[in-house]
Amino acid sequence: MKLQGKTAVVTGAARGLGRAIAKRFLEEGADVIMTDIDAGGLETAAAELGAMQACVMDVTRFAQVQDTFNELIKKQGHIDILVNNAGITADARLVNMTEEQFDAVIAVNLKGVFCCAKSVANHMIENGFGRIINIASVTAHNGNFGQTNYAASKAGVISMTQTWAKELGKKGVTVNAVAPGYTLTEMVSKVPEKILDSIRMKTPVNRLGRPEEIGTACVYLASDEASFVNGAVLKVDGGLVL
């Protein structure tokens, strides 16, 4: 198993991509700590998957995030992998988007990634090993109608990924991003079928992605096989963005 002996924290793990990533990590032998702001959904997901631990955490609150990671490190001894997956949408065209919608998405999708990475970076540096994997999106590359806030947040995630790869790589910590295309999650299922059909037609492999495929990409980046991969943005989108 590729992640045997490793401890991983996955944010936004109650459902969707986060749950799928946690499941794949467990299948590869990792000890997985699932976090989410949704206590009920997190408890259910962790019980179903058999995760080591589940922690309710608001990624936008730095003090809370830092305290949570300090407690986890004290209890587990080491955190080897962080998957920054927590994210939200609040869609509206520019002329209709409110300041509250913009701020909420930036807070979770961008600031949340910063809070989690900062809270674990020194620990990984001290251990001389770490894998930070940030979940971006194809919208970071080509934008998307009605998603000013989301596209901006994911573009920011990619820029932070590349910056941290330069800062942390020489210390044994690699930082990479996965940019999923349209994947069959609860979030995407809310999109009208007519639009999903259009997306399928535009995707060279002629289908939407499966959550477990994103999980497998994360397994690769977390594994020893990817020890020379740093600052990469792995697009898992069926060729949608070329």
CA distance 193 to 60: 33
**Predicted local confidence at residue 24, as pLDDT:** 98
Question: For the domain that residue 169 is a member of, what is the CATH number?
Answer: 3.40.50.720
* Tokens 């970071």 -> residue: 140
Q: Could you tell me if residue 237 is inside a domain?
A: no
> Which residues, other chains included, contact 161 with Cβ-Cβ below 8 Å and sequence gap of 6+?
134, 136, 175, 176, 177, 231, 233
* Mean of the per-residue pLDDT values of the chain: 97
pLDDT mean over 182-189: 86
Give the CA radius of gyration of the chain.
17
Range of the domain at 197: 7-232
**Predicted local confidence at residue 190, as pLDDT:** 76
- Answer yes or no: is pLDDT of 172 > 80: yes
Q: Model confidence over 112-168: pLDDT tens digits?
A: 999 999 999 999 999 999 999 999 999 999 999 999 999 999 999 999 999 999 999
Q: Could you tell me if residue 242 is inside a domain?
A: no
Whole-model pTM: value is 0.97
Q: Name the domain count of the chain.
A: 1
**Predicted local confidence at residue 86, as pLDDT:** 98
pLDDT band at 234 (very low <50, low <70, confident <90, very high): very high
pLDDT exceeding 70 applies to what percent of the chain? Answer: 100
pLDDT band at 188 (very low <50, low <70, confident <90, very high): confident
Annotated catalytic residue, options 25, 150, 164, 182: 150
Residue 162 has which token pair? 């590349």
Q: Could you tell me if residue 163 is inside a domain?
A: yes
CA distance 5 to 79: 11
Active-site residue flag, 150: yes
CA distances from 177 to 18, 94, 218 (A): 14, 27, 9
**Predicted local confidence at residue 186, as pLDDT:** 82
| Cβ–Cβ < 8 Å for 68, 112 | no
Q: Could you tell me if residue 125 is inside a domain?
A: yes
